[in-house]
Amino acid sequence: MTKSEGKGPAIERKKENEYRINDISESPKPKTFVEVTIVGKDKKGIVADTTNYIFKHGGNIEKINQNVVKGLFGMHLEASFPAIDKVRMKDELETLGKKLQMEVKVHFHEESKVKNVAILVSKEDHCLLKILNSHVAGEIKCNISLIIGSDEKLKAVADSFRIPFFYVKHVEQSEAEREILQLIEKFDIDLIVLARYMRILTPNFVWRYPNRIINIHPSLLPAFPGAFAYVQAYERGAKIIGCTAHFVTEDLDQGPIIIQESFKVLQEDTLETIKVKGQLAEAFALFEAVKLFLEDKLEVNWGKVSYK
């Protein structure tokens, strides 16, 4: 047995001019994962130009998805790179977007990074309070960077937790979404949580953050979609009611399901007692879904969520 000088690996001589390395101390180089979303008027060459850029820079495409609705094109691409200059890549992809006359967003994902979270709310506070209190208790690890409200009612809650609150009026949905997108970009948000946010996001918004927007819906989807799920369930005499935490897609309340919670409807239950039980279930289910996301335990394939 001979050893190389210094701290190199041990080498065993087997035969003439044949050696075997017994141990190698070098670990695999970490990869950088990049998400690229492109949104704009549909035209030729978008996919080809984008994928060519990835390949020319040594990237490997992990996932790619594209869709067209009423002339609006949306594409989401995930790629991995052994080593990249992030600033340069972001600039080059945004330049490519200008050439294509498309809006390009670049998001770098690093497993070691503490994720930035934005919470969107309206008037109900039960889901928001569950997440905020759990964060204070150390049950989830993240930066809750801001809270965005379609109403000013929950500003006091945000202030009490010393989290920036932004009130965005929704007179015109496109204008409201433009303002929200600017805030999401400014705070470098990794996850958007809809904590009983009572507005329907358009494809123009949703396509920019595929599998990064989590919503809580007050029914066991796919049953009873829409805003009055508990009323529908009560009027139909449902014996088991619940809620669903899911990723948001362009199809209302049809996104990949993450967590579901349910409870039995008792003979003495009224619509009001059902709503109270539902709110408890909603808060728990949304928190669990957010926790799984922050711990990188969710994987979405073919519209279905699996746990890592």
Active site residues: 253
Please check whether residues 224 and 156 belong to one and the same domain.
Answer: yes
Q: In this structure, is residue 264 part of a structural domain?
A: yes
- H or E element that contains 179: helix 173-186
> Same structural domain for residues 169 and 245?
yes
Which helix (H) or strand (E) segment holds residue 27: the answer is: none
Quick one: 157 and 102 in the same domain? no
Residues 41 and 102 in one domain: yes
Tell me which residue range forms the domain holding 253. 116-307
> Tokens representing 277?
């039980």
DSSP 19: E
pLDDT of amino acid 28: 53
Q: Is residue 60 part of a domain?
A: yes
CATH (domain of 104): 3.30.70.260
pLDDT tens-place string over residues 33-86:
888 989 988 888 899 999 999 999 888 998 888 888 878 898 888 898 887 888
The pLDDT assigned to 21 comes to: 38
Quick one: pLDDT at residue 22? Answer: 43
124/143 Cα distance (integer angstroms): 22
Q: What is the pLDDT of residue 7?
A: 44
For the chain, give the percent of residues with pLDDT over 70: 88
| 237 part of a folded domain | yes
- Is residue 104 located within the same domain as residue 182? no
Residue 104 sits in the same domain as residue 120: no
Q: List the one residue out of 67, 76, 105 whose CA is nearest residue 251.
A: 67
Q: Does residue 152 surpass a pLDDT of 90?
A: yes
pTM of the shown model: 0.77
Task: Quote the number of domains for the chain.
Answer: 2
* Cβ-proximal residues to 158 (8 Å cutoff; 6+ apart), any chain: 147, 149, 164, 165
- Is residue 254 situated within a structural domain? yes
| Angle between helix 86-100 and 46-56 (nearest 10) | 160
Is 123 a member of any domain?
yes
Q: Based on the fold, state whether residues 75 and 181 are members of the same structural domain.
A: no
* The domain boundary residue, chosen from 58, 85, 109: 109
Are the C-beta atoms of 305 and 259 separated by less than 8 Å? Answer: no
Chain centroid, CA 253 distance in Å: 16
- Inside any domain, residue 19: no
- The predicted-structure confidence for 155-198, as pLDDT tens digits, reads as follows 999 999 999 999 998 788 889 999 999 999 999 999 999 999 99
pLDDT in tens, 271-297: 899 899 999 999 999 999 999 999 989
Residues 76 and 143 placed together within one structural domain of the fold: no
What is the rounded distance in angstroms from the CA atom of residue 166 to the CA atom of residue 152? 8
| Strand arrangement, sheet containing 32-41 | 60-69, 72-81, 32-41, 103-109
CB distance 180 to 120 below 8 Å: yes
Tell whether the model's pLDDT for residue 250 goes beyond 60: yes
Asked if residue 184 and residue 82 are part of one domain, the reply reads no
pLDDT digits (tens, 9 = 90+) for 78-128: 898 887 888 899 899 999 989 889 988 888 876 667 899 999 999 999 999
Picking from 208, 292, 194, the residue whose alpha carbon sits closest to that of residue 243 is 194
Same domain, yes or no: 207 and 155: yes
Q: Which residue, of 79, 94, 109, is where some domain finishes?
A: 109
The pLDDT of residue 146 is above 90 = yes
